[in-house]
Chain A
Amino acid sequence: MAAYITPIIGGIFIGISAFVLVLFLGRIADVGGIIWGAVSAQPDNAWRWLFLIGLVLGPLLYHTLLPTPYPQVSVLPWWYAAIGGLLVGFGLKLGSSFTSSQGLLRIVWFSARYLAAAVIFTSTGVATLYVVRHLVPGL
């Protein structure tokens, strides 16, 4: 059971972050959208860059204050990262930023749009992993 506590604590942190951001700034913690807004130089951008800086510093703070090891580096070859990143960015923007992992507020709104996207990307994610792990030889 103890192993299940940390994901729940982590999720609570994420939920609080999303709540505070919408309460104070009126913005959704949609990280894909925030990244795009930051790099495409949208107006009123300082908050986006600061959010992203915090996003990167957060894990550093956690692993330093509670001495826990960094996660193991992925064993997948670099071109998995390249293709994976390309498809994630492309798909997200094509779908008008239907979500990052944190379309959380939209789940709560029972947005049919978000739920449809979540069902689809989870299905293709499961299928892709299955193909990579079981059908591609040598990995």
Chain B
Amino acid sequence: MRNIIALLCGLFFGIGLAVSGITDTATVLGFLEVLGNWMPDLALAIGAAVFVILITFPFIMRRKSPLMSQRFLLPTTKFIDGKLVGGAAIYGVGWGLYGYFPSSAMSSLVYQDWKTAIFVAAMLIGMTLANKISAN
């Protein structure tokens, strides 16, 4: 049952990305084009998603545990360090270069453009490299 929920959540997420146009790199790059022909689509999509979470969040806060797991596994790291700043800066460069997030790149695999597969493969290599560096 947990797995069915996870599958449905993935489906909803993927549908949301496609409907909002985030699976189109032109939409995402259009959002970053603040000095030109700016496209608000990404801002609207994120705003709507945040709104949904804002109104549903108190409902989660009242619970001691999730419905189908023993506890909430939420991020606990609070500090801002050099790795966060550097990592975010590097992430932004990659994002601005091609216009994919991890999520939109994964979803866009279904469009069968080989460059998307290259993006995802390179992303996995990048994660592996950073993991090695962080471990040392």
> Which A residues are closer than 8 A to B by beta carbons?
4, 6-32, 35-36, 39-40, 46-48, 50-63, 70-74, 76, 78, 80-96, 98, 100-102, 104-108, 111-113, 116-118, 120-130, 132-133
- Assembled-state Cα–Cα distance A123/B48 (Å): 22
Residues 83-121 of B, flagged 1 when their CB comes within 8 A of A and 0 if not, give 111111111111111111111111111110111101111
Number of A-B contacts (CB under 8 A): 470
Residues A130 and B35 in contact, CB atoms below 8 Å apart = yes
What bracket does the count of chain B residues touching chain A fall in? Answer: 35 or more
Main secondary structure of the interface of A (DSSP, over half): helix
Identify the closest chain B residue to A112 (Cβ).
B80
Residues A90 and B90 in contact, CB atoms below 8 Å apart = yes
Residues B129 and A90 in contact, CB atoms below 8 Å apart = yes
Residues A74 and B87 in contact, CB atoms below 8 Å apart = no
CB within 8 A of B13: which of A14, A96, A112, A127?
A14
Residues B14 and A56 in contact, CB atoms below 8 Å apart = yes
Smallest beta-carbon distance A103→chain B, Å: 8
Main secondary structure of the interface of B (DSSP, over half): helix
- Assembled-state Cα–Cα distance A135/B26 (Å): 19
> Which B residues are closer than 8 A to A by beta carbons?
2-27, 29, 32-36, 40-42, 44-54, 56-57, 59-60, 63, 65-75, 77-80, 83-111, 113-116, 118-131, 133-134
